[in-house]
Amino acid sequence: MNFNKKSKKIGWAEKLLDKMAQNKKYKTEIVSADDAGIAKAEKLLSSGQVVAVATETVYGLAASAFHDGAVKKIFFAKQRPGNNPLIVHITTLNMVYPLVSEVPAKLNKLAEKFWPGPLTIVMKKSGLIPLIVTGGLDTVAIRMPSHPSIRKLIDVCGYPLAAPSANSSGKPSPTTAQHVFDDLNGKIPLILDGGTCEVGVESTVVSLAGEKPVLLRPGAITLEQLQSVLGKVEVAKGVNEAPAADSAPLSPGMSYRHYSPKAKVTLVVGSEDAYLKYLSENNLSENVFALCFGHEGEKSGLPYLSLGEFEDSVAAQHNLFSALRMADEKGASQVIARCPKKDGEWYALFNRLQRSAGFEVIEL
C-alpha cells in the first residue's frame, strides 16, 4: 500500500489539520469598543469569525447565532465540549420570539424586571437556532445584556450573538480584556475592550422550558428575586452537589470542573473568627494565600488576596475571578477562601468557589 498517496476518504483529516493550524495563527488584537472597534468586530462576525466582547457579567466569545461554522470556532478556541450549550444574546424582546417555539407565560414579567441584565432564560427553541448552539438540546438559553459594548455590537450586526464566557474551558471566567488575551491569544482575531466587568460572575440561569421554573445556575440575580416574580423556583440537582459521573444534568455546563486556577482552592464557609482560627490551627506550608474580606488578610499572617470590603457580596462577586487569576500570577500553591454563607446573596459566590474547590467544602 502506498501511504503517500492521498486517499479521498481521509481528506477530511487534512482539512481539519489545516483549519487547526489556521486557528492558531491569529494575531489577536485588543481594540476599544468605540465605533471603529464595533465596526471592525461586525465585519469579522459577518464573515463567520468570532470576537470577544465585554458584557456586564464576564467577557463573552461571540459568533452569529445563525452561523454554524462560526459557532464551531467558539467551541474550538475555548476547547469547550460540544454538548455544553451556549447562551444567545439579544437586545430587544422582539428578537426573542422568533428564536423560541413556545413563549413562557412568565417571560414578560421576568424580562420587565431583570432585562437588560445578568439573567439568562432557557426556553423551547425554534428551528432558527442551530443545534450546535444548544449542544443538541431542544431548548435555547437567551439573555439580554446591559453592557453597551455587546449591545452596540448586536445592534450593528442585526442578528443575535451566541456567546459563552471567553475563557479557556475550565479556567475562571474573564472579567478584563487582558484575561481574555491571556487565555485566547493566537486563537481569536479580536477582543473588544469594554473595561472591567461590573458584576464579575456569570448570569443567573433559570429554565422556563418545563412546567415549573428551575434554577440552573445562581448569579447576581438571586433565587429570592426570581421567586418574587415566579413563585416557587426549584433548584436543579446539579447546582448544589457534585454531579454523579453517570447523570445527565439539566445544564451541562454544571458538570465540568470549573473556575479552576492552577492553585488548589480550599473553601471555608463561616465567620471571620472561625476562618482565622482555622488558618492559625492548620500548619500551612509556603505559598498558601488567604482569599477574604477587609482586614482579615492582614490578620491571617498569610499572603492574601482581597474579595473587597468586609462581607460585601457584590464586591466579592466582582473581585472573585480576577483574584483567582492573580493567585496563579503570584505563584500560590493553595488558596484558602472564605465565604460567609451558602445561600441568599452569597449563593453565586459559594457556587463558584465550591466548583473551584472541587466540591470540598469546610463548614465551620
Binding site for ligand TXA (CB under 6 A): 55, 57-58, 60, 84-87, 118, 120, 122, 134, 137, 139-141, 143, 163-165, 202-203, 205, 216-217, 250-254
Q: For residues 123, 128, 134 and 137, what is the CA-based torsion angle, rounded to 10 degrees?
A: 70
DSSP H helical ranges for 199-312:
223-230, 237-240, 272-281, 296-300
DSSP symbols for 225-249: HHHHHHS--EE-HHHHSPPPTT---
Q: How far is the CB of 297 from ligand TXA (least distance, A)?
A: 28
Q: What does 28 bind: ligand TXA, Mg ion, none (CB cut-off 5 to 8 Å by kind)? A: none
Nearer to ligand TXA, 220 or 307 (CB): 220
Q: How far is the CB of 310 from ligand TXA (least distance, A)?
A: 26
Nearer to Mg ion, 120 or 165 (CB): 165
Tell me how far apart the alpha carbons of residues 58 and 33 are, in angstroms, rounded to a whole number: 15
Q: How far is the CB of 75 from ligand TXA (least distance, A)?
A: 10
The cell 500548619 sits on which residue? 283
Nearer to ligand TXA, 167 or 266 (CB): 167
Q: Is 149 in the site for Mg ion (CB under 5 A)?
A: no
Q: With the C-alpha atoms ordered 311, 148, 259, 217, is the resulting torsion angle positive or negative?
A: positive
Name which of 345, 196, 195, 337 is nearest 259 in CA terms. 337
Tell me how far apart the alpha carbons of residues 206 and 213 are, in angstroms, rounded to a whole number: 7
Q: What does 60 bind: Mg ion, ligand TXA, none (CB cut-off 5 to 8 Å by kind)? A: ligand TXA
* Pair 151, 41: CB distance under 8 Å: no
**Which residue, judged by CB position, is nearest to ligand TXA in the bound state?**
253
* Pair 329, 240: CB distance under 8 Å: no
From 7-15, 143-151, 160-168, 305-313, span contacting Mg ion (CB under 5 A): 160-168
Binds Mg ion by CB under 5 A, chosen from 165, 203, 255, 300: 165
Q: How far is the CB of 202 from ligand TXA (least distance, A)?
A: 3
Q: How far is the CB of 76 from Mg ion (least distance, A)?
A: 15
Binding residues for Mg ion, rule: CB under 5 A, are: 165
